[in-house]
């Protein structure tokens, strides 16, 4: 398939996300369904994803075909959630409504944005794995930077980062201590 | 082990009537029920069991406590079981007492907070989530967002550093923490002012010393040294110590006193005594003595003879020759007069007494004869008349007829009058006689008393009357005394004259004696004065020179010499005092100089120390600034890279065709607390407005929902649970489908245990399909809540397990 077509781009994205292509034509319970592309999810997501292109296919026929797929899945007692990704012009609201009764519809539409890839990703986001931020990363990074806070300062001052682990009070005491140390000689000769 | 909710048992809690047990031990639990069937109650019960309170309701209604027990029930109970939590018990049960639930939840306070903020999305919270996280008041530092940021970033150390270095920002904060530094800081200006003060004192002292030196020089000048003498030269010192003039001064002082005394003496004899004066005085004295003798021969003798005669009567009279004659005469006269008076009065009283005696004798005679008459009358009356009358009176009541009660004889035989009348007359006669008798007796007693008085008076008088011899002698004495008195009266003029002669004579003799004494003194004084001229080596007193002038000349010389010496001496003394003071001041000057140099040294030392401390403080400030910068940088980065990224991701999943994406914007602030505000970003770049202005109601709801999920996902999941109460109320179907997919992703990919309550049946079915088990050991529990005919809550519980899909060949 050619990645320059919308269907190709969508398929590529989903394949990259870990979905597997189903060999065409799609057969459910002995019935054949003709779709430009069909994919199923890996273990954790049993989705069945169909890709259609309204540029080549009439909306009515697409609706009928999807209802057929849904019905076939029901008959086969399959619990795979069904998703259709529609490339090409956005179907009419009535047809979208009809489709969304039997499956999840992702009408990517004709991508007009400059960032076509980004826009497509947005539409398909729900199918793509969710990348959570590394909750430890910033903290680890922060710790490293934290220890470097005192670079270029006097050693006594730079060392103030050490008691920070014990909390505010420890830092405060240490701060007082180094200030007191600086003037400690004043005490020895009773000048104060 | 991953914490997982296991089961929940609820009795009469909120809208749940009776006891229901809800199994929760599944990755996904879907709860369906009509409105009012108790979905939210179940979720509240879970919250209560876990945290011990129902914070989601408290936000809406502060008095929710009183409505937790089902209104038809007396008490309620909630018990929950959880698996996989270390250090915590697996089960917690909270019962109501007095229709109020109280008890400790299963979770620790920290986990409770995590649960309330990051795991449980109540319907009431969902509506207000954006509001809660939208930071409105910049002064509130501990806003939910700030707490979140801290949880998220573990900024404790940075915060501790920033807060700990707070004191470096202002030296005043170091007052208690670093007292020594504070003292040093304090001491420096004090030292500076002290040095200024000491320096001022030093210059004042220098001026004083200069003045003293000048004054000593002036004094030396007075003492005869040349001008500008060095006051420390041995010559000057010798001069200052010399006390040579002292004996001379003493000699002069004595001389001055002596001359003064002579002048004094001289002034008393100054009048002098001439020969003529002496002659007059002597003549006067002779005349006075002559006249005195003449008087003594004449009147004096007469007086003596009178006194001699009187001596027979009065032994203690003063003698006219030994005392002054007038005095002697007047004393004698007074004595004679007094005696004469006494004798005359004795005679007069004796005459009176004789007369009175005769009158008394007559009175006594009369009294005696009256008493005799009274006695006679008394004897006429019966002595016992009174008592007899009383006796008869007591008999009278017994007289009833003419028969006598005493003798029983008939009274008619004696008289014609009735007996009672007779008796009555008798009684009255007796009574009258008794009264008279009493009066007479009293009269007699009085007469006897006055007689006794008169007789006593007479006795006294008789004793006082003089005898005839005594009276005659007294009369003779009176006659003699009268003679004396007369003689004394006659001699009075002569006596006065005699007195005068006496006085004249003594006065004249006294003045004569005084003149003689004066004459002798003047000679002595002149000799003494002559001696002064020798002592003072002055010109002698010339014969023609009056003594007074010479003395004045001596006096002038002495006082002039003395003044000169005294002036020198006092100059020397003052100079000495000044020199002493000078040495004291020199000592002070030395001490002062040392104090100044000491203080200066201390000042420089302290200044150096303070410089070091100040340097450290400024460096600490720098460190604090860096820490704040780093905190801000971290927060900004994390906001942008973590929270906003995941929020955007989640929001886009649910609303792929919404051009605006909500985000937290971090305004630039100069360190300090992190402030974030909500904004929207246009997907292809550029900023929009506040989400609530930019997004539709459905997408706003989506924004809140995804914010909640983003908050949950961007921290380490202490509790990997998501409990969501009817989240799809204003979402369209597109969003619902996406939401279902998202829930599945969270459950299957990220291992979150998900409990979702929905009221729409089709949605419930759809979610059940979408969230159905996808692999071995994956499970789904669907729960239908309804009510039985008696109103009790009924749970229909359906577990689903994984069945390998055969429909689509992969």
Nearest to B117 by CA among B50, B63, B65, B66: B50
Q: What is the enclosing helix (H) or strand (E) of A26? A: strand A26-28
pLDDT reading at B761 higher than 90? no
Residue that the structure tokens 């405060």 belong to: A172
Most confident of B222-226, B240-244, B619-623: B619-623
Q: Are B57 and B48 in contact (CB under 8 A)?
A: no
Contacts of A111 in chain B (CB under 8 A): none
Contacts of B165 in chain A (CB under 8 A): 160, 171-172, 175
Distances (CA, A) of B714 to A17, A131, B129, B717: 22, 11, 17, 8
User: How far, in Å, CA of A6 to CA of A106, rounded?
Assistant: 13
Both tokens assigned to A64: 């009928």
CA atoms within 13 A on the CB side of A27: 8
User: How far, in Å, CA of B658 to CA of B706, rounded?
Assistant: 14
| pTM attached to this predicted model | 0.56
User: How far, in Å, CA of B59 to CA of A18, rounded?
Assistant: 43
Determine whether B619 is exposed, middle or buried from the number of CB atoms within 10 Å of its CB (0-12, 13-18, 19+): buried
Tell me the nearest-neighbour CA distance from A182 into chain B, angstroms: 5
Band (pLDDT 50/70/90 cuts) for residue A1 is very low
Say how many CB pairs under 8 Å bridge A and B: 256
Most confident of A46-50, B670-674, B677-681, B774-778: A46-50
SS3 call for A51: strand
- DSSP code of residue B322: T
B645–chain A Cβ distance below 8 A for any pair: yes
- String of b and e for B531-547 (b: at least 16 CB within 10 Å)? ebeeebeeeebeeeeeb
Q: Any idea of the CA torsion for B175, B179, B182, B188, to the nearest 10 degrees?
A: 150
Q: Are B115 and B720 in contact (CB under 8 A)?
A: no
| Whole-number average pLDDT of chain A | 82
Both tokens assigned to B438: 């009493």
User: How far, in Å, CA of B764 to CA of B780, rounded?
Assistant: 12
**Stretch B214-233: mean pLDDT:** 79
User: How far, in Å, CA of B560 to CA of B241, rounded?
Assistant: 24
B706–chain A Cβ distance below 8 A for any pair: no
- B331: number of Cβ within 10 Å: 16
Contacts of B773 in chain A (CB under 8 A): 79
**Cα nearest neighbour of A82 on chain B:** B770
Can you tell me the ipTM of this complex? 0.81
- A178: number of Cβ within 10 Å: 22
**pLDDT at A2 (0 to 100):** 47
pLDDT tens for residues B299-344? 888 888 888 888 877 777 777 777 777 888 888 888 888 888 988 8
Contacts of B183 in chain A (CB under 8 A): 186, 192
pLDDT reading at A132 higher than 70? yes
**Stretch B686-712: mean pLDDT:** 83
Residues 113-132 of A with CB under 8 A from B: 113-115, 118-119, 122-123, 125-127, 129-132
Best of A30, A91, A182 to disrupt the B interface by mutation (most B CBs within 10 Å)? A182
Tell me phi and psi for residue B225, to 5 degrees. -80, 160
CB contact under 8 A, B620 and A160: yes
**Stretch B570-586: mean pLDDT:** 87
Which residues have a Cβ under 8 Å from the Cβ of B321 and sit 6 or more positions away? B300, B304
**Choice among A89-93, B187-191, B430-434, B544-548 with the minimum mean pLDDT:** B544-548
pLDDT tens for residues B334-391? 888 888 898 888 888 888 888 888 888 888 888 888 888 888 888 877 667 778 888 8
Best of B184, B602, B766 to disrupt the A interface by mutation (most A CBs within 10 Å)? B184
CB contact under 8 A, A28 and B605: no
B195–chain A Cβ distance below 8 A for any pair: no
Nearest to A73 by CA among A28, A42, A117, A9: A28
Residues 95-114 of A with CB under 8 A from B: 97, 100, 104-106, 113-114
A68–chain B Cβ distance below 8 A for any pair: no
Q: What is the enclosing helix (H) or strand (E) of B655? A: none
- B439: number of Cβ within 10 Å: 9
pLDDT tens for residues B70-83? 888 888 899 999 99
Most confident of A95-109, B51-65, B137-151, B510-524: A95-109
**Cα nearest neighbour of A83 on chain B:** B737
**pLDDT at B783 (0 to 100):** 93
CB contact under 8 A, B153 and A131: no
**pLDDT at B47 (0 to 100):** 92
**pLDDT at B670 (0 to 100):** 52
- What angle is formed at CA B744 by the lines to CA B743 and CA B750, rounded to 5 degrees? 90
**Cα nearest neighbour of B618 on chain A:** A157
Task: Say if strands B660-665 and B677-682 run parallel, antiparallel, or are unpaired.
Answer: antiparallel
- What angle is formed at CA B665 by the lines to CA B664 and CA B670, rounded to 5 degrees? 130
Distances (CA, A) of A100 to A107, B395, B697: 11, 163, 21
**pLDDT at B310 (0 to 100):** 82
B188–chain A Cβ distance below 8 A for any pair: no
Band (pLDDT 50/70/90 cuts) for residue B140 is very low
- B182: number of Cβ within 10 Å: 19
């Amino acid at each position: 398939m050619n990645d320059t077509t919308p269907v190709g781009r969508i398929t590529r994205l989903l394949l990259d996300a870990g979905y597997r292509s189903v060999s065409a034509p799609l057969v459910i319970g002995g019935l054949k369904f003709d779709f430009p592309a069909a994919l199923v999810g890996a273990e954790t997501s049993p989705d069945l994803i169909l890709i259609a292109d309204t540029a080549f296919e009439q909306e009515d026929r697409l609706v009928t075909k999807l209802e057929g797929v849904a019905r076939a899945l029901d008959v086969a007692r399959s619990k795979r959630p069904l998703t259709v990704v529609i490339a090409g012009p956005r179907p009419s609201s009535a047809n979208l409504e009809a489709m969304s009764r039997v499956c999840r519809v992702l009408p990517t539409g004709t991508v007009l944005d400059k960032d076509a890839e980004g826009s497509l990703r947005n539409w398909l986001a729900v199918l793509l794995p969710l990348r959570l931020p590394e909750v430890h990363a910033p903290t680890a990074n922060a710790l490293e930077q934290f220890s470097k806070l005192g670079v270029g300062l006097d050693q006594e001052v730079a060392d103030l980062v050490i008691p920070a682990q014990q909390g505010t009070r420890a830092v405060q005491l240490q701060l007082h201590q180094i200030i007191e140390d600086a003037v400690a000689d004043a005490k020895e000769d009773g000048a104060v | 082990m991953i914490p997982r909710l296991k089961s929940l048992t609820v009795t009469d809690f909120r809208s749940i009537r009776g006891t229901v047990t809800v199994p929760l031990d599944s990755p996904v639990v879907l709860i369906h029920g009509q409105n009012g069937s108790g979905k939210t109650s179940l979720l509240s019960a879970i919250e209560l069991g876990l945290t011990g309170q129902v914070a989601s309701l408290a936000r809406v209604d502060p008095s929710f406590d009183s409505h937790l027990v089902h209104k038809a029930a007396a008490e309620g109970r909630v018990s929950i079981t959880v698996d996989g939590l270390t250090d915590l018990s697996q089960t917690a049960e909270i019962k109501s007492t007095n229709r109020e639930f109280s008890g400790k939840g299963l979770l620790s306070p920290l986990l409770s907070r995590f649960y309330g903020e990051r795991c449980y999305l109540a319907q009431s919270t969902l509506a207000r989530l954006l509001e809660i996280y939208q930071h409105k008041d910049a002064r509130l530092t501990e806003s939910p967002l700030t707490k979140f940021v801290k949880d998220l970033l573990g900024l404790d150390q940075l915060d501790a550093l920033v807060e700990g270095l707070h004191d470096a920002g202002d030296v005043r904060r170091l007052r208690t923490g670093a007292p020594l530094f504070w003292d040093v800081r304090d001491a420096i200006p004090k030292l500076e002012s002290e040095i200024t003060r000491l320096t001022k004192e030093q210059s004042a002292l220098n001026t004083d010393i200069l003045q003293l030196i000048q004054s000593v020089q002036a004094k030396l000048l007075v003492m005869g040294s040349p001008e500008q003498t060095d006051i420390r030269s041995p010559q000057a010192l010798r001069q200052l110590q010399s006390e040579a003039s002292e004996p001379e001064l003493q000699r002069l002082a004595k001389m001055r006193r002596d001359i003064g005394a002579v002048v004094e003496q001289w002034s008393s004899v100054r009048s002098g005594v001439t020969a003529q004066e002496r002659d007059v005085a002597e003549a006067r004295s002779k005349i006075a003595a002559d006249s005195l003798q003449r008087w003594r021969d004449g009147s004096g003798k007469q007086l003596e003879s009178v006194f001699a005669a009187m001596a027979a009567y009065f032994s203690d009279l003063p003698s006219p020759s030994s005392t002054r004659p007038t005095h002697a005469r007047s004393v004698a006269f007074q004595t004679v007069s007094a005696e004469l008076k006494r004798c005359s009065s004795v005679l007069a009283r004796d005459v009176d007494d004789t007369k009175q005696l005769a009158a008394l004798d007559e009175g006594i005679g009369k009294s005696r004869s009256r008493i005799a008459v009274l006695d006679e009358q008394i004897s006429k009356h019966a002595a016992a008349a009174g008592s007899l009358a009383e006796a008869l009176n007591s008999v009278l009541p017994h007289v009833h007829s003419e028969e006598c009660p005493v003798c029983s004889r008939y009274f008619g035989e004696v008289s014609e009058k009735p007996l009672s009348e007779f008796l009555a007359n008798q009684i009255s006669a007796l009574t009258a006689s008794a009264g008279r008798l009493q009066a007479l007796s009293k009269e007699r007693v009085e007469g006897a008393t006055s007689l006794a008085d008169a007789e006593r008076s007479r006795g006294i008088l008789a004793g006082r009357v003089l005898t005839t011899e005594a009276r005659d002698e007294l009369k003779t004495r009176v006659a003699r005394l009268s003679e004396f008195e007369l003689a004394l009266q006659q001699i009075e003029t002569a006596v006065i004259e005699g007195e005068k002669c006496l006085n004249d004579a003594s006065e004249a003799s006294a003045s004569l004696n005084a003149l003689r004494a004066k004459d002798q003194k003047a000679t002595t004084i002149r000799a003494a004065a002559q001696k002064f001229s020798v002592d003072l080596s002055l010109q002698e007193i010339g014969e023609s020179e009056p003594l007074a002038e010479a003395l004045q000349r001596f006096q002038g010389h002495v006082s002039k010499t003395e003044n000169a010496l005294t002036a020198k001496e006092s100059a020397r003394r003052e100079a000495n005092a000044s020199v002493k003071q000078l040495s004291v001041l020199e000592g002070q000057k030395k001490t002062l100089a040392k104090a100044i140099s000491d203080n200066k040294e201390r000042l420089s030392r302290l200044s150096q120390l303070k410089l070091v401390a100040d340097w450290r403080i400024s460096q600490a400030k720098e460190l604090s600034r860096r820490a704040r910068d780093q905190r801000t940088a971290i927060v900004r980065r994390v906001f942008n890279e973590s929270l906003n990224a995941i929020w955007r991701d989640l929001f886009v999943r649910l609303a792929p065709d919404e051009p605006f994406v909500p985000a937290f914007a971090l305004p630039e602030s100069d360190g300090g607390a992190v402030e974030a505000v909500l904004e929207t970003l246009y997907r292809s770049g550029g900023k929009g407005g506040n989400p609530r202005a930019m997004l539709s109601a459905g997408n706003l709801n989506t924004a809140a929902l995804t914010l909640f999920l983003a908050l949950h996902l961007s921290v380490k999941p202490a509790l990997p649970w998501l409990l969501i109460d009817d989240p799809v109320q204003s979402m369209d179907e597109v969003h619902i489908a996406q939401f279902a997919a998202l829930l599945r992703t969270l459950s299957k990919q990220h291992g979150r245990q998900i409990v979702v309550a929905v009221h729409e049946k089709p949605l419930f079915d759809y979610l059940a399909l979408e969230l159905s088990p996808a692999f071995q050991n994956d499970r789904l529990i669907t729960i239908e809540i309804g009510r039985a005919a008696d109103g009790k809550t009924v749970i229909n519980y359906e577990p689903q397990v994984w069945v390998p899909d055969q429909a689509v060949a992969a």
